[in-house]
Amino acid sequence: MTNASYQNQKVRKHYDVAFPIVNTVILILLMFVTLYPVINTVAYSFNDGTDALKAGIGLWPRVFSTKSYESILSDPAVYQAAWISASKTVIITVLNLFWTSMLAYTLTRKEYVLRKVITTMMVLTMYVNAGLIPNYLLISRTLHLRNTYWVYIIPTMFSCFNMVVLRTYIAGLPEALVESARIDGAGDIRIFWQIIFPLCKPVLATVALFVAVGSWNSWFDTHLYNASKTELHSLQYLLKMKLATTNQSANAANASVEALTSSAASKTTPVTIRCAITVVSTVPILVVYPFLQKYFVTGMVLGSVKG
Amino acid sequence: MTNYTQGTARYVSPKKKGFFQKLASQWQLALMSVPIFLYVLLFNYFPMWGWRNAFLDYSSKKLVARGITPYIGFDNFKWLFSRQDFLLSIRNTLAMSLINLVFGTVSAIVLAVLLNEVRQKMFKRTVQTITYLPHFLSMVIIVAMAQNIFASNGPVNDLLGLLGIQPVFWLGEGKHFWWLVGIINVWKEVGWGTIIYISAMTAIDPALYEAASIDGAGRFQKILHVTLPGIKSTFVILLIMNIGHLMEAGFEIQYLLGNGLTAEFSRTIDVFVLEYGTSQMDFGVATAAGIFKSVVAIILLLGANFISRRLGEDTLV
C-alpha cells in the first residue's frame, strides 16, 4: 500500500467517524427549525395581548394569559365554524371511502367491459383540468350550489388520485379470493363488501387521512362560494379573515403600540386571537396524524410511483 | 367486405357474447362504477364546455347584465398578451415553480440521504414524524405563522441581527417574495418529499453496499455510487410529473401572503384568473388565461416525457 492511498484511507476513516455526529446535529437543527414556528405560535396564543404587540416572544409566553382562548371559546361563531368544519370533514371522508374503493374494485376486474374507457377518463382528469372559472360557473350557475352546505360535499366526494392508490392496492391482492367467492355464487357487490373492502383497511386509513386533512384545511371553497353566508363559514375561513384584519391593523398597531398599551381595555389583540385559533384548528390534526404514519407512507408510495 | 366478415364468423363461437350482453351480465360492476363515472364526466369534463367563454366578450357590464356576450374570436387572448400584469404573472408563476422544483427536489433528496444514514430507528422515526408535520397544516395556518416569523421585528430578523445583518422587510418588499415562498414551501414539504425517495432507497439491493465496502468505498462513495444511482428512476419520474405541473405555482400562498406592496412579484396566473374572474366578473379574459395555462402544461408534460423516452429513462405516459 502506497503512502498516499494509506493517507487517503485515514482521511476517509475520519469522515466516517465524523459523519454520524454531523448528520445527527443537522437533523436536530432541522427538527428545531420545523417546530420553532409552531411552538412560537402556541407561545403567542398564551401571551397577554398588549404585551405581544412588542414582539420578541420565542418559545415561551412572556406574560402568561389565557384571555385569547377565553375570548374565542366564548364566541358562538367559532363553535358554528368548528361544527361546519367537523361535519363536512366526516361526511366527505365517509363518502370518499365509499365511492373511491368501490370504483377501484371494479377497475381491477379484467373481464369488465367498461374498464378501459373508465380508467382512461379517470387518469386523464389528473392532468387535464377545465380550470377555475369553468368549474366556478358549473357549481354556481349550473348546479346552484352557492350559499349552500352542499358546495362543501358534492364537488369533493370523489378523488382520482385516491382511487389510483386503492386500485393499485386491490390489484395486489390474490386473485383467488375473488375466484373462490365467485364459485360459491357471490356477485361482485357482495365480493367487494364482504371480502375486498375489509382487506383494504390499511390503505383506507391513508385515504381517510388525506381526504380528512384536505377537507379540514380547505378555506377556498368558503371564500369562493359561501363568503356572504356567515353561518356556513368554516374554521379555516374564520382564520383567513383574521389574517386579513390583522394585516390591516398591523401597520396601525406598529405606529401606536404605546397608545394601544395604555388604553388596553381588553387583554387580547388580533395577533394573539389569530394564534389561538391557529392552535385550536391544528390540534385535531396533531392528534391524529402520528398514529397513521406507517399507513400513509405506504399509501403515498402506492399512489405516486405506480400511478 | 360482408363476405369476409361472414367468412370469419365461424371462428366466433356461438357462446361469445356481444358488448351489451357482456355488460348486462356484469350489471353489478356497472352499478358500482357508472354513477361515479357520470359524476366525473359532470365535474371534470362538462366544465370544458365553459372554455367557449374564452371567445366571448364579457367586458361590457351593461350587455352582460342583459345576457348578451358577443363572439369575439381570439380577442381575449390578444388582450391578455398586451397586458403587462398578465405577462408578469407568467414570469412569477414560472419563477416560483422553478424555485420550488429545484429547492424542493434537492432538499428532499439531501434529507432522504441523511435519514438513510441514520442507524438508530427511534431517532429516524422521530425526525420523520416531526418533518412530516408541516405538510398537514393548512396554508392559512402557515401564512399566519410566516407573518410572525418574518415580521420586521420577528425571529428571522433577530437572527440576522445577531449576525450583524440589517433587518429585512420580508413581507413588504416584492424582490423577496419568490424566495420567501421558496423557503416556506421547502419548510412545508421537505419531510413529505423524502417518503418516495426513502422507499426507493430501501429497494436497493444490500449486496451492492457490501460489494462497495469490499472495494474499499467509504460512506460518501457509497452514497455517490450506490444510493444516488438507486433513486435515479424515481427522480426522473417525479421530475416529469413536476415539469407537467410547472404552471401550477399554486395560488393559496401567493393570495394569502401577497399584498399591495408585493403584487408585482406575487401575482401568479391563478391569482390573475381569480381576480379577473371572480372579482371583476370578466369570465372571458379569466377563462382565456386558464386555457393558456392548461395548454402550456400539457405541452410541458408531453415534452418532458418525450425527452425522457429519448434518454432511455422511464416514462409516465
Its pTM stands at 0.85
List pLDDT tens digits, range A150-185. Answer: 999 999 999 888 898 899 889 988 999 999 999 998
The three grid cell numbers given for residue B306, joined into one nine-digit string: 418525450
Q: Which of chain A's residues have a Cβ under 8 Å away from the Cβ of B230?
A: none
Alpha carbon of A265: minimum distance to chain B alpha carbons (Å): 24
pLDDT at B62 (0 to 100): 77
Q: What is the distance between the alpha carbons of residues A63 and A41, in angstroms, rounded to a whole number? A: 14
| Inter-chain contacts counted by CB atoms under 8 A, chains A and B | 248
Query: Is there a contact between B51 and A103 if contact means CB atoms under 8 Å apart?
Result: no
Distance CA B145, CA A275 (A): 8
Lowest mean pLDDT among A42-46, A277-281, B58-62, B249-253: B58-62
Through-space distance between the first and last CA atoms of chain A, rounded to whole angstroms:
51
| Cell matching residue A162 | 385516491
Q: How far apart are CA B260 and CA B249, in angstroms?
A: 19
Fill in the DSSP letter of residue B167. Answer: P
Q: Higher model confidence: residue A186 or residue A266?
A: A186
Question: Are B28 and A188 inside 8 Å of each other by CB?
Answer: yes
Contact B130 A35 (CB under 8 A): yes
pLDDT value of position A26: 95
Pick the residue from chain A with its C-alpha nearest to B49: A134
For residue B6, name the pLDDT band (cuts at 50, 70, 90): very low
Q: Is B287 part of the contact surface with chain A (CB cutoff 8 Å)?
A: yes
pLDDT at A253 over 70: no
- The larger pLDDT score, comparing residue A257 to residue B298, is at B298
pLDDT tens figures, A56-112:
788 888 888 888 888 888 889 999 999 999 999 999 999 999 999 999 999 999 899
- The pLDDT score that the predictor gives to residue A249 is 47
Query: What nine digits make up the cell of B192?
Result: 413529505
Tell me if chain A has a CB within 8 Å of the CB of B238. Answer: yes
Give the sign of the dihedral formed by CA B145, CA B147, CA B153, CA B155.
positive
Tell me phi and psi for residue A64, to 5 degrees: -65, 135
- Copy the grid coordinates of residue A146: 352557492
Maximum Cα–Cα distance across chain A: 82
Answer whether A247 sits within 8 Å of B259, measured CB to CB: yes
Residue A31 has its nearest CB partner, among B41, B130, B149, at: B130
Read off the C-alpha cell for A143.
Answer: 348546479
pLDDT: is A12 or B99 the higher one? Answer: B99
Burial degree of B93 (CB within 10 A; 0-12, 13-18, 19+)? buried
Cβ atoms of residues A115 and A181 within 8 Å: no
**Quick one: which of A81, A125, A214 has its CA closest to B39?**
A125
Side chain identity at A127, as an amino acid letter? Y
pLDDT at B138 over 50: yes
Find cell 419563477 and name the residue: B95
**Cell reading at A51:** 404585551
User: Which numeric CATH code is attached to B75-310?
Assistant: 1.10.3720.10
Q: Which residue has the cell 412572556?
A: A62
DSSP secondary structure string for all residues of A213-248:
HHHHH--HHHHHHSTT-GGG--HHHHHHHHHHHHHH
Q: Which three three-digit cell numbers place residue B114? A: 441523511
Cell numbers given for A156: 369533493
B130 Cα to chain A: minimum distance (Å): 6
For residue B208, what pLDDT is reported?
A: 92
**Whole-number pLDDT of residue B152:** 82
Question: C-alpha cell of B199?
Answer: 422507499
CB contact under 8 A, A103 and B36: yes
The SS3 assignment for B244 reads helix
Query: Do the chains contact at A113 and B22, CB–CB below 8 Å?
Result: yes
From-to residues of CATH 1.10.3720.10 in chain B: 75-310
pLDDT > 90 fraction of chain A, expressed in percent and rounded? 42
Q: Is B247 on the interface with A (CB under 8 A)?
A: no
Cα A206 from Cα A78, distance rounded (Å):
29
Q: How far apart, in Å, are the Cα atoms of A100 and each of A251, A269, B36, B42, B307?
A: 48, 44, 9, 16, 34
Q: Which residues of B187-218 are buried (b: 16+ CB within 10 A; e: fewer)?
A: bbbbbbbbbbbbbbbeeeeeeeeeebeeeebb
Per the CB < 8 A criterion, the answer to whether B222 and B212 are in contact is: yes
Q: Which of B248, B247, B251 is nearest to B278 (CA)?
A: B251
**Nearest-angstrom CA–CA distance, A134 and B290:** 9
pLDDT digits (tens, 9 = 90+) for A213-237: 999 999 999 999 999 998 999 999 9
* C-alpha distance from residue B222 to each of A9, A23, B217 (Å): 14, 16, 6
Domains and CATH numbers, chain A: 71-307 (1.10.3720.10)
Task: Provide, rounded to the nearest whole percent, the portion of chain B with pLDDT above 70.
Answer: 93
